Amino acid sequence: MALHQHDHTAAELKEYYQAVISWVETIFMKYRKEMKGLKWGIFYNKYHHIDFSPQKLEAQITELMKDEYDEISSKKGIYEYVLSGDERCLSIRAFKDSEKRAVYERQKGICPKCGKHFEISEMEADHITPYSKGGHTTLENCQMLCRDCNRRKSAV
C-alpha cells in the first residue's frame, strides 16, 4: 500500500485492501501469529466467493493447531488448508527412511494394491488412513505402494 499510495489507482487499491482485510476478519474469528505474512490477497481472490462458516473454520484451525502428533511442519499452512482442503498446504511430516524400510520388510516388498513385488526404490510410503480422515504418520498407518498404485490412489 505505502509503495503505491500516490498512484492514480490508489483509491482502487485501498478499496481492494480493505475488502481483503474485512473478508479475513469476517471468516476468521481469532487472530493468531501464524496469520502474519500470508498471501491474503491471493486467498481472497480464490476463495472470497465461498460461503465459509467462521465457527467451522475456527474449530478446524483449533484442532489442527493442537497437532498432538507433531505432524504439521507449517502451522501457517493451516489457513490455506481450511480454505482449499489441499493437504499439501500442511506440509505433513513424511515417513522417515527407516520407517519406509521397516514397512517394506514387513510387506516383503509386495505392493498391497496390485500384489506384485518391487524393490524399495520403486515404492512410495503412503498413509493408509489419510490425514484428513484422522490418519497419522505412524508405522501402523504406513503402507508401501508401487508408484503406479500410489498415483492411482491419489487420483481417486
Helices (H), 33-132: 40-47, 54-66, 77-84, 97-107
pLDDT given for residue 133 in this prediction: 81
DSSP conformational letter for 126: E
Q: What is the pLDDT along the chain (156 residues), one digit of tens a residue?
A: 667 777 777 888 889 999 999 999 999 999 999 999 999 999 999 999 999 999 999 999 999 999 776 778 789 999 999 999 988 888 777 788 899 999 999 999 999 999 999 999 999 999 999 876 878 888 999 999 999 999 888 655
CATH of the domain at 150: 1.10.30.50
For the chain, the 3-state helix, strand and coil shares in percent, each to the nearest 5, are: 55, 10, 35
CA gap 96, 74 in Å, rounded: 18
Q: Are both 84 and 103 inside the same structural domain?
A: no
Q: Do 78 and 139 belong to one domain?
A: no
pLDDT value of position 156: 53
Report the candidate in 86, 87, 74, 82 with the shortest Cα–Cα distance to residue 28: 82
Beta strands in the chain (DSSP E): 123-127, 142-146
Kindly compute the dihedral angle of the four CA atoms of residues 16, 20, 26, 31, in this order, to the nearest 10 degrees.
Answer: -140
Residue 49 lies in a domain: yes
- Residue 108: give the domain boundaries: 97-155
Q: Judge if pTM exceeds 0.75.
A: no
The pLDDT value recorded for residue 69 is: 66
Q: Are 146 and 122 spatial neighbours (Cβ–Cβ below 8 Å)?
A: yes
Residues 49 and 14 in one domain: yes
Residues 76 and 119 in one domain: no
Report how far apart, in Å, the C-alpha atoms of 37 and of each of 32, 62, 74 are. Answer: 11, 19, 13
- d(C-alpha 43, C-alpha 80), whole Å: 7
Number of domains in the chain: 2
Residue 90: the pLDDT is 83
In a domain, 21, yes or no: yes
140 and 103 belong to one structural domain:
yes
Same-domain status, 31 and 102: no
Q: Looking at the domain assignment, is residue 82 inside a domain?
A: yes
How far apart, in whole angstroms, are the C-alpha atoms of residue 77 and residue 92?
10
In angstroms, rounded to a whole number, what is the distance separating the alpha carbons of residues 30 and 48? 18
